[in-house]
Amino acid sequence: MTIPVAEERASRADPGHGEQASLRTWLRLLACTTLVEREVRGRLRDRFDTTLPRFDVLAQLDAASREPGLPLTMTELSRRLMVSNGNLTALVERLVQEGLVNRDTSPDDRRTQIVSLTPAGKKSLDTMTPEHQQWIASLFSDLTSSERKSLFELLGKLRSSVQDSLSEDRGT
């Protein structure tokens, strides 16, 4: 949910003040994300009859398959997707039933579940990723490449700032 009116109000009330400036930037960030996400959800549904969480799981498993190292556990998958293990379990269960995802017990630890894409899952993802990438490029197309670069870098700073603030609060 976003609060465009509150953004305008924060903007008018005190544009120079740090707290107000942070708040209006956050509200605009949230509005951008909501707009893009809603569009992507709609297109995934209309074009591929699928949902964003399903697409995200497949994309994440595909990315993990290119990494060196250990296979992906359910716990690590839920961390990367920033969703709870509980929500993810039902979704992965459906993808397993549809033959798009493999889920196995780890040979090293019976409590650990390993997840990966099946060939059918990879094929399903590969039909979607080029269009998904074009949708995003089209939504971002009014930004020059230098503006996109600046935005990317500022968002990197913001991500670090958020992570720093969270670590401090937790005393780590």
Window 121 to 150, contacts with its own copies (CB under 8 A): 133-134, 136-143, 145, 147-150
- Binding-site member from 46, 47, 48, 52 for its own copies (CB under 8 A): 52
Helices marked H in 74-118: 74-81, 85-97
How many residues bind its own copies (CB under 8 A)? The answer is: 71
Of 61-69, 98-106, 113-121, the window that binds its own copies (rule: CB under 8 A) is 61-69
Told to check if 113 binds its own copies by CB under 8 A, we report no
Least separation in angstroms between residue 110's CB and its own copies is 26
Told to check if 118 binds its own copies by CB under 8 A, we report no
Told to check if 96 binds its own copies by CB under 8 A, we report no
3 state SS of 101: strand
In a 13 Å sphere around the CA of 163, the CA atoms on its Cβ side amount to 6
Helices marked H in the chain: 4-13, 18-48, 52-65, 74-81, 85-97, 119-139, 145-169
Q: Which of residues 4-33 bind its own copies (CB under 8 A)?
A: 4-6, 9, 18-26, 28-33
Closest to its own copies by CB, 1 or 110: 1
Least separation in angstroms between residue 136's CB and its own copies is 5
Give the alpha-carbon dihedral of 9, 11, 14, 20, to 10 degrees. 90
- Binding-site member from 75, 89, 105, 163 for its own copies (CB under 8 A): 163
Residues near 92 by beta carbon (within 8 Å), at least 6 away in sequence: 57, 74, 77, 101, 103, 115
